[in-house]
Each structure stands twice: as C-alpha cells, then as structure tokens.
Amino acid sequence: MIEVHGFSFTYAGTATPALRDVDLKVPKGQLCAIVGPNGAGKSTLCYALAGFVPHFFRGELKGQVRVGDRNVPDTPLPELSGEIGLVFQNPFNQITGARFTVLEEVAFGLENLGVPRAEILDRANEALRLTGLGSLGDRSPYALSGGQQQRLAIASMLAMRPRLLVLDEPTSQLDPAGTEALFTHLSDLVSSGSMTVVLTEHKLEWVATFAHRAVVLAAGQIVADGEPREVLASPAMEALGIRPTYYTQAARAAVASGLAPDGRGRPLPVTLEQAAEFLRWR
Amino acid sequence: MEIKVEAVTFHYPSGVLALNEVNVTVGAGETVAVVGENGAGKTTLARHLNGLLRPQSGEVWIGDWNTRQKSVASLSRRVAYVFQNPDDQLFARTVWDEVAFGPRNLGGTPQQVETDVRAALERCGLQDAVGRHPYDLPAAERKFVAIAAALAMRTPVVILDEPTTGLDAGGVERLGALVEGLKQEGRTALTITHDLDFCAAHFERVVVMSEGRILGDGPARQVLREAALLQQAHVRPPQLIALAMALGFPTSPMTVPEFLADYRRYTSQRSSPQ
C-alpha cells in the first residue's frame, strides 16, 4: 500500500532535514504506529504520505513516496484526497469553518466529491456515531469542547472512507474511553480489509494493544521498526526520549530488584494485561 | 490563595448546559487536577476562575474578590491561565515580548519585568529561544512559551488546561518539574487533564467531572482508585494503580518505588512467579 524509499525532506527556509533517507513499506490492511519524541519528523512523515508535503508545505525533497499506484509528490492534492485521508494534529487546522453544524462539517468532503445526498447522510451520521458525536450533529463546530473538536476532525475523515487513513496524534485531546473507542474502530477497519492506517501516538499502551507494528522515528530517521511490545519495551527507547509505560517501568524495577525473574527471552510488558501476567504470582 | 466556586451554573448561548450547580473550594497552595470526559465542563469551569466567563447563577471567589466585580485584566493579577491550545494565546513577535506582555501590563519596573521574564523563561527551558518568533518554534515549545507567559505574572493561582497534550516524555517531565516548583512556592495550581499518570505523579487532589457536575472529589490516592467512578467520567485509574488493582493489592501506588514496595510486601510470602 505504502512504499517510501530513500525519502528526505527539508522545509523551505530551514537547513536541517526533517526526514532523512526514510525507507518504509506498509502492506494493505496494516495498523502501523509511528512513535518518537517531539521534533522527530512524525508529522512530516504524515504530511508526506498524504501529499501535504510537498504540495502544501514546500521544500527540498529526495526519494519516493508511493501510495497504491500513485507517486504522491507527482499527484495533485485533489486527486489524492479521495484515497488518502489526513487527520491533523490540531483540529483547528482542519475544521473548515465553512459549515454551520457538526453534521454539515462531516458531510463537506463528501459533497465536494459529488456523493448522492442519501449516502452522504448515512456516512456522515455513521462517522458521528462512531466518534461519540451522534447527539451533537446540530451543534456549531465552534460550540464543541477541544476534545469534541478532535472527534469531529476524525469523523470528517472516517466519513470519506479513504483507502489510507493517516492520523497525526489523533487522541491527544481525547478522554481515555474515547481513545479506546477510536483504536477499537480503527482496528476493526483494518481487519475488515477496508483500510490501511498509519498514525502517530505518544500513548504507548494503546500502540502495544492495537497496532500491528511500531516504527520509531528520531531526528528524522527510522531507528526501530517491529512488533510493538518488542520495540516499545526495549531499554533503547529511553535514550531516544521515549518514556516506557509505567507497566514496563514497574516490571523492569521488579526484575532489577530480584523480585521477579527476567522475561526468559520474553520482552518486558507494555500493557496492563501483559504486566499483570508478567508480575502475577501463583 | 483560596478559590471558591459556589453553586455555579452556566449555559452557552447555543443552549448547552456546561456547568450545573458546581461547588468546589480549593485551598491556598493546593494542587488540584480536574478530570472527566470530553465536554464534561472542565474548561468552562476553569474559564470562570479568570473571569473569561461569569456565572449565570452562583458566585466565584478568588481570595476576597468576587469575579463578577472584577475585570479580566484585574483578575489576571491573581489567576494565570494557560490555554489548551497555545495558538489561542500567543501573539507577540518574539518569545521575550510574549512572556513580557503580562508583567509589563501589571506595571512593574523594567528591572522587575526583566527579572520575572528571565526567571519564567529559565524555568521553562526557553532561555535560548528569547529572540525567536513563537510560531517558528515546534508546537510543544510553543506550549512552554504559553506557560512561561503565565508564570511570569507571578500570580498566586495558575491554571493549566490540558498541559501534557502533544508533549513527549521529556516535555511531560519538564512540566512535572514546573508543577513541583509551583507547589514549593505555595501557589495554588489547578490542571485539567486526561493524563491520569501525570495527575498521580504531581497532584494531591482530584476532582472528577461529568456532564457539568462534580461526580467525585478527594485525595488523589483515594479518587484515582475508584475505577467505577472514573469510568462514569470516561477516564480510568493511572497505570500503576491499575496494575496494583489487577494484582489484587489494596494500595494506590503513585510512583514506581511505591509500587515496588507494595509488590515486595504482597508477594513476599509466596514462592515464585508463574
């Protein structure tokens, strides 16, 4: 689905590349999480996959980004928008302001694609329901709380049903129940084969629970890539500025003080379930 | 400085009932985290404390000031507010001017302004960014500019609305150190957050909100263990407490060393892990 090869990008007016020589292949139907410290290049990678780099954010580019059978840097944004959806980190950057209600906002993209009215309503209402906004369709987007606006930004992209959905820190303002619901839904979408998902996330517990794969970016380069538990429990993460979950920290402390045996080849736990299993005495 | 919110009700013009008879008192020097689902009324409550919103019924007191009788400008001498989205509050052309705006308007001498600004920038790790345009900084650093601007006001009350959003581990640690600094100075700090691990690490009291009402209010160690109450507000216990509960410990560990002590105590009589 995605093939990034030897990709580097330097924003216009800056000297340091935001991404350097990135190689990334994501097969269709994968839920791939990108983690890394602030400034690692995560958002730039999201923009590059969705074509905002280089079509909207200009700069110097090397290498290739292919999504499906399109070469992204050579394809105009409007052509990409039906196939690739991007949820911005800050919902204010995404909500159009051109519509009066939450429902109209979600319908806006579909209207522009000329989707029939009945289908627009079905898809928009479904997206609102899935993001917990079902009862707020008549409200102004600006009468929503910060977290509700983030849900709206996500709903707008879900309604588009892109083949590739890219989400840049989609849960930063969501309450924990909303975070779990979103991950569960994304996980269902990829398992049904209807979507490929790439997202950036600081909350490692959710990555380890739901993602098929964790890719670690640091200073513009991919420094680790693999099965989430293995990648995220690795002691190398701290040196990169990525804090392990408290589950990993607790297990590591228990092992270090001789209270629990080491993992006997198993990686340390990252999630609650893994930690309870790792530390439970029988 | 004490904060008193007495029977406050607030509807937005859209008709949304955001606060429904809310009562809460925060003592001088207390650190309080307000948690709850998206749309619970947390930000609406916080905006009543600096006068951005006025109660439609009920009263809000900041020390001996009733917010109905004070302008937002006067209230800013007592309450500093850091917005959820730093882009809602940053407007100056340099980081220095941004952070100096408040102290200048409070009428401090140039020397006093300089001292306060420098101290706030250093606490936020921004001493090397003074000449930069705030919008040339990454979003996480802009957040710290907004926090520095609040700290430079040297107000007795500081409100942080979702301060950990978008911060990586290093940023959350820097923020935690700032909160600890506020505690040491005896300032009253109130944060709105979904990050219950951050709450557990730095806040002594937790207020749980849902649908414009307060569902729970008490010492962090106690409230953060009440899974059913937290679930009603769409949040959940912090990781270490969740793990202690999963392992059947009756405790609320707030730090890794506390967890380890519990683990040692409750497992010492057994033979070996599975």
What does pLDDT average to over chain B? 93
Distance of CA B255 to the CA centre of its chain: 19
Of B39, B242, B256, the CB nearest to A145: B39
A142 and A278 belong to one structural domain: no
Distance of CA A94 to the CA centre of its chain: 15
Q: What are residue A206's phi and psi, to 5 degrees?
A: -70, -35
| B168 in any annotated domain | yes
Q: What is the predicted ipTM?
A: 0.90
CA distance, residue A157 to nearest chain B CA (Å)? 20
Question: HEC string of chain A?
Answer: CEEEEEEEEEECCCCCCCEEEEEEEECCCCEEEEECCCCCCHHHHHHHHHCHHHHCCCEEEEEEEEECCEEHHHCCHHHHHCCEEEECCCHHHCCCCCCCCHHHHHHHHHHHCCCCHHHHHHHHHHHHHHCCCHHHCCCCHHHCCHHHHHHHHHHHHHHHCCCEEEEECCCCCCCHHHHHHHHHHHHHHHHCCCCEEEEECCCHHHHHHHCCEEEEEECCEEEEEECHHHHHCCCHHHHCCCCCCHHHHHHHHHHHCCCCCCCCCCCCCCCHHHHHHHHCEC
What is the band of B270 on the pLDDT scale with cuts at 50, 70, 90?
Answer: low
As for how many domains chain B has, the answer is 3
Q: Which residues of B touch A135 (CB under 8 A)?
A: none
B68-107: per-residue pLDDT in tens?
999 999 999 999 999 888 877 788 889 999 999 999 988 8
Chains A, B: CB contacts under 8 A, how many?
Answer: 151
Distance of CA A69 to the CA centre of its chain: 22
What CA–CA distance (Å, rounded) separates A154 from A88?
9
| A240 in any annotated domain | no
Structure tokens at A26: 């994501």
B13 and B138 belong to one structural domain: no
Of B141, B194, B267, the CB nearest to A176: B194
Print the domain residue range for A119. Answer: 2-228
Considering only residues 77 to 116 of chain A, which have any Cβ-Cβ distance to chain B shorter than 8 Å?
89-90, 92
The CATH number that applies at residue A209 is 3.40.50.300
Q: In the predicted model, is pLDDT for residue B274 greater than 60?
A: no
A39 close to B (CB below 8 A): yes
B10 and B64 belong to one structural domain: yes
Structure tokens at B26: 């925060």
| B85 in any annotated domain | no
A126 and A96 belong to one structural domain: yes
What CA–CA distance (Å, rounded) separates B232 from B199?
18
Of B16, B43, B234, the CB nearest to A177: B234
B163 and B229 belong to one structural domain: yes
A207 and A249 belong to one structural domain: no
Single-letter amino acid, residue A67: V
Print the domain residue range for B269. Answer: 242-274
A250 and A195 belong to one structural domain: no
CB B31 within 8 A of CB B179: yes
Of B138, B169, B172, the CB nearest to A39: B138
Q: What are residue A40's phi and psi, to 5 degrees?
A: -80, -20
What's the full length of chain A, in residues? Answer: 282
B164-181: per-residue pLDDT in tens?
988 888 899 999 999 999
A42 close to B (CB below 8 A): no
| B83 in any annotated domain | no
A145 and A179 belong to one structural domain: yes
As for how many domains chain A has, the answer is 2
Among the residue ranges A94-98, A181-185, A228-232, B134-138, the one predicted with the least confidence is: A94-98
The CATH number that applies at residue B50 is 3.40.50.300
Kindly determine whether residue B168 and residue A242, on different chains, have CB atoms separated by under 8 Å: yes
Considering only residues 112 to 141 of chain B, which have any Cβ-Cβ distance to chain A shorter than 8 Å?
138-141
| A238 in any annotated domain | no
Can you give the pTM of this predicted structure?
0.90
B111 and B162 belong to one structural domain: no
Of B43, B170, B271, the CB nearest to A241: B170
B134-158: per-residue pLDDT in tens?
888 888 899 999 999 999 999 999 9
Residue B273 is given by DSSP the state: B
Q: Which residues of B touch A132 (CB under 8 A)?
A: 38
Which residues touch A246 (CB under 8 Å, ≥6 apart)?
B197, B238, B239, B240, B243, B256, B259
Which residues touch B48 (CB under 8 Å, ≥6 apart)?
B5, B8, B10, B19, B54, B55, B60, B67
What CA–CA distance (Å, rounded) separates A210 from A223?
21
| B84 in any annotated domain | no
B167 and B146 belong to one structural domain: no
CA distance, residue A77 to nearest chain B CA (Å)? 25
pLDDT at position B271 is 52
B74 and B169 belong to one structural domain: yes
